[in-house]
């Protein structure tokens, strides 16, 4: 039967089905995180928790993603993309079902952690697969379109999660995630062939040899430059995200209903930037397009910073500058991720996993800082955004150091 034979192989990378599959695979992680958010207040009542204890349902998930991605990267270089992907997706499906049947909070948080370990494979393997089968230029285009499609997940997931929670109960969100994971697993098994080139393999198997591979990446200015561009782009966003509802409500009297509308505008702006990133790559090379994206993000945030410095931050100034910044972040982020992998194609999996993990860590740091420094006004948030875009430009120039590859 044709369906049972892997058909997405090198040479098929321009097919729309191939791109949609990889976009779904990459987007499964943020989707599974966001779909349960509407159920959190109900979980506090069901498990008799203080509301602040609910953060562990999110933080355990983020921890699992961050810890698992470098491991996934090493494994898919050593054993191949396909087996690591299939095994990890199976773990995600089983952990999602585990979330449905557990009866205490500790086990639910544990299953969330296991969910994240399994689904963390999506971003790593999709980027490695694109690098395997594409030139650097075409890989950047493909990953830009994947980033655009990924932006849909965090928008629709809370809406769908809220409907499922009200209609079928909190377990239904986890069950739905498991079903989606099972469908992706089925398609991966039936249609995705192994794409890892024979030359791509982490040599040796001792801890010391593996450690040297990662230290080589960490010592590469180009790899770290691209990775930190992505991380500080995320930092610009995460400096805003944790306190945005409070700022909108207390400072500008914007309620939850309208905040959802404005959040959709920001998400759409990022997706639009990712779309234009792919289009621009048809004419310009990766580094020129990345420079344009980073520069636009820097200028838009600088305008916001100067407005705050001179005391003239109105709602429209805040919304417009952040919306424009999200557009340029949408251009820059997928290109930075492409650069971190394509500079070392012989370690595509390891580079993909490590860059994703480090980038997430930088973004999480800004999230923690803005939550700690928040004083009820937009000031600390804007100052941290200014620090983040300064980091973006410094990392951009680091990425131009072509002295040596990692390893």
Q: Which CATH architecture has domain 219-397?
A: Up-down Bundle (1.20)
- Measured in whole angstroms, how far is the alpha carbon of residue 235 from the centre of its chain? 12
Dist. CA 175–CA 94, nearest whole Å: 10
Rounded Cα–Cα distance for residues 28 and 22 (Å):
10
Lowest mean pLDDT of 81-85, 160-164, 196-200, name the range.
196-200
Mean pLDDT, range 190-209, rounded to an integer? 68
Distance CA 126, CA 23 (A): 8
CA separation, residue 223 to residues 26, 70, 150, 379, 388 (Å) = 21, 14, 23, 33, 18
Q: How far apart are the first and last CA of the chain?
A: 43
Average pLDDT over residues 157-183: 90
**Cα angle for residues 340, 73, 271 (degrees, 5° grid):** 55
How confident is the model over 61-85, as a mean pLDDT? 87
| pLDDT at position 3 | 37
For 381-389, what is the mean pLDDT?
95
- Residue 201 binned pLDDT confidence (cut-offs 50, 70, 90): low
Residue 402: per-residue pLDDT: 60
Whether pLDDT at 255 is above 80: no
* Contact between residue 372 and residue 288 where contact means Cβ atoms under 8 Å apart: no
Dist CA 112 CA 368 (whole Å): 21
**pLDDT digit string, tens, across residues 298-331:** 999 999 999 998 887 899 999 999 999 999 999 9
What's residue 159's pLDDT?
74
- Where in the chain are all domains bearing CATH 1.20.1250.20? 8-197, 219-397
| Average pLDDT, rounded, for the chain | 83
Express each pLDDT in 1-33 by its tens digit: 333 445 554 455 556 778 888 888 988 988 898
C-alpha 166/C-alpha 234 separation (Å) is: 32
DSSP 376-400: SSSHHHHHHHHHHHHHHHHHHHHTT
- Give the contacts of 52 (CB within 8 A, at least 6 positions apart): none
Choice among 81-90, 257-266, 285-294, 298-307 with the minimum mean pLDDT: 257-266
pTM: 0.76
Q: Which residue has the higher pLDDT, 32 or 131?
A: 32
**Which tokens sit at 137?**
């230029």
| DSSP bridge partners of 192 | 8
| Exposed e or buried b per residue across 3-41, where buried means at least 16 C-beta atoms within 10 angstroms of its C-beta | eeeeebeeeebeeeebbebbbbbbbbbbbbbbbbbbbbe
Domain 8-197: CATH architecture, name and number where available? Up-down Bundle (1.20)
Q: What is the pLDDT of residue 203?
A: 47
Specify burial of residue 398 (Cβ count, 10 A radius: 0-12, 13-18, 19+): middle
Q: How far out from the chain centre does Cα 178 lie?
A: 20
Q: At 240, list the tokens.
A: 């805003």
Query: Residue written as tokens 């990459």?
Result: 26
Query: Do the Cβ atoms of 348 and 128 come closer than 8 Å?
Result: yes
């Amino acid at each position: 039967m044709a369906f049972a034979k892997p058909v997405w192989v090198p040479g098929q990378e321009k097919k729309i089905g191939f791109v949609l599959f990889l976009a779904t695979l990459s987007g499964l992680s943020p989707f599974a995180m966001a779909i349960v958010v509407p159920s959190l207040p109900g979980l506090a009542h069901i498990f008799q928790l203080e509301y602040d204890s609910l953060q562990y349902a999110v933080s355990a998930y983020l921890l699992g993603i961050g810890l698992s991605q470098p491991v996934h990267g090493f494994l898919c270089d050593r054993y191949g993309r396909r087996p690591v992907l299939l095994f990890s997706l199976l773990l995600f499906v089983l952990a999602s079902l585990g979330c449905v049947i557990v009866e205490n909070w500790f086990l639910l948080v544990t299953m969330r952690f296991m969910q994240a370990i399994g689904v963390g494979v999506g971003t790593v393997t999709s980027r490695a697969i694109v690098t395997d089968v594409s030139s650097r230029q075409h890989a950047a285009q493909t990953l830009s379109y994947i980033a655009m499609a990924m932006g849909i997940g965090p928008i629709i997931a809370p809406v769908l999660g809220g409907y499922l929670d009200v209609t079928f109960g909190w377990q239904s969100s986890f069950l739905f995630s498991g079903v989606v994971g099972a469908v992706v697993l089925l398609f991966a098994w039936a249609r995705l062939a192994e794409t890892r080139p024979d030359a791509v393999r982490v040599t040796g198997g001792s801890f010391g040899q593996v450690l040297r591979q990662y230290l080589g990446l960490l010592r590469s200015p180009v790899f770290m430059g691209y990775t930190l561009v992505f991380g500080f782009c995320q930092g610009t966003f995460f400096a805003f995200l944790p306190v945005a509802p409070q700022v909108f409500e207390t400072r500008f009297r914007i309620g939850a209903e309208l905040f959802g509308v404005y959040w959709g505008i920001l998400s759409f702006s990022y997706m639009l930037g990712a779309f234009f990133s792919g289009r621009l790559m048809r004419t310009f090379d990766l580094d020129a397009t990345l420079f344009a994206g980073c520069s636009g993000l820097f200028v838009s945030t600088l305008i916001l910073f100067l407005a705050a410095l001179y005391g003239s931050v109105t709602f429209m100034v805040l919304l417009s500058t952040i919306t424009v910044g999200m557009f340029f972040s949408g251009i820059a982020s997928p290109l930075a991720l492409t650069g971190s992998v394509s500079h070392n194609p012989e370690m595509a999996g390891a580079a993909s996993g490590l860059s994703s993990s480090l980038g997430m860590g930088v973004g999480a740091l800004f999230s923690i800082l803005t939550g700690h420094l928040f004083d009820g006004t937009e000031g600390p948030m804007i100052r941290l955004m200014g620090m983040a875009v300064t980091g973006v430009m410094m990392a951009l120039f680091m990425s131009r150091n072509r002295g040596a590859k990692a390893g």
